[in-house]
Amino acid sequence: MFRNNYDNDSVTYSPTGRLFQVEYALEAIKQGSAAVGLASKTHVVLVGLKRNAEELGSYQKKLIKIDDHMGVALAGLAPDARVLSNFLRKQAMNSKMVFNRPLSVSKAVYSIADKAQQNTQSYGSRPYGVGLLVSGYDDTGAHLYEFQPSGSVLEYYGASIGARSQAARTYLERNLEKIRDCETPEELIVHGLNALRDTLSQDVELTFKNTSVSIVGKDTKFTTYDDEDVQQWLDKLDSVTNSTHRDEDDDEEAGDNAEDQDVTEDRMETDE
């Protein structure tokens, strides 16, 4: 079923100037599991929450290595992420073969942005239903970019995409100065895991099975940590789990109970 007559393809504007298929692609990103990126002056860290379709299945890969100095975290449709990551790998290999130098992070990001934007102006194609956080380190320093299916690209000090990513973004905003002043990658990873934990629902915990971590930076090649390798940083988190969501839920319940009590007292006074 279609929403209206203006979402049959990605080249038709609605009367209000919107491309609905691009908006649908952005909604697909919101359905994916969360990914968080943080950038200090020398390093960039990506952390992702892996999902498995069922208990008998494996967890979906969230972090993809592009080159020794670059990698991405995805949220949304994994097949689309594979297409874009393979394209980036070709660009990185071509830069080494032709120019004998690593591909700059900004050039890499804008190349996939141009590729994605073509799908918003060509009949018969659709926007990529995936968002990417691109981390890298080159001659100009450490960089973190967010890629969107519309072809929009922005550089961030801290970013989050995926389901309930606003909670992680709030944590990053509150601790931005501490994140920028981090001197070691371990501090960045702990901040990233704290932000990622805020995106969890109450019945889910961060474990070494559902968490991925990557780091790249000065004198550090892009390295991904999965499974038991992640436990060393999970042990550094405080014992308070999902405190943000639980406190908010408790406040909402308390507010609802107070409102119910006020209504009950008003009714009793009226009866009297």
Q: CA nearest 35: which of 81, 90, 87, 68?
A: 81
* Number of domains comprising the chain: 2
**72 shares its domain with 207:** yes
Instruction: Say what the pLDDT of residue 92 is.
Output: 96
In a shared domain, residues 44 and 148: yes
Q: Is 247 inside a domain boundary? A: yes
| CA dist., res. 250 & res. 207, Å (int) | 25
152 and 211 within one domain = yes
pLDDT in tens, 54-81: 888 889 899 999 999 999 999 999 999 9
- 63's CB contacts (< 8 A; 6+ apart) are 46, 48, 71, 72, 73, 74, 212, 213, 214, 224
Average pLDDT, the chain: 86
What pLDDT does 183 receive? 87
Tell me which residues of the chain have a pLDDT lower than 50: 1-2, 240-241, 243-246, 248-250, 252-254, 257-260, 263-272
Q: Are residues 119 and 254 in the same domain?
A: no
Q: Is residue 256 part of a domain?
A: yes
The residue among 117, 33, 125, 47 whose CA lies nearest residue 76 is: 33
**181 plus 271 within the same structural domain:** no
Q: Are residues 29 and 139 in the same domain?
A: yes
Q: Tell me: do 143 and 255 sit in the same domain.
A: no
Residues 189 and 62 in one domain: yes
Give the pLDDT score at 3.
55
Q: What is the pLDDT of residue 239?
A: 52
pLDDT in tens, 9-45: 888 888 888 889 999 999 999 999 999 999 999 999 9
Sign of the alpha-carbon dihedral angle for 177, 50, 112, 43:
positive
Q: Are residues 40 and 161 in the same domain?
A: yes
For residue 56, tell me if it sits in a domain: yes
Judge if 223 and 258 occupy the same domain.
no
Domain around 270: 242-272
**Structural domain includes residue 15:** no
CATH number for the domain including 32? 3.60.20.10
Same domain, 191 and 258: no
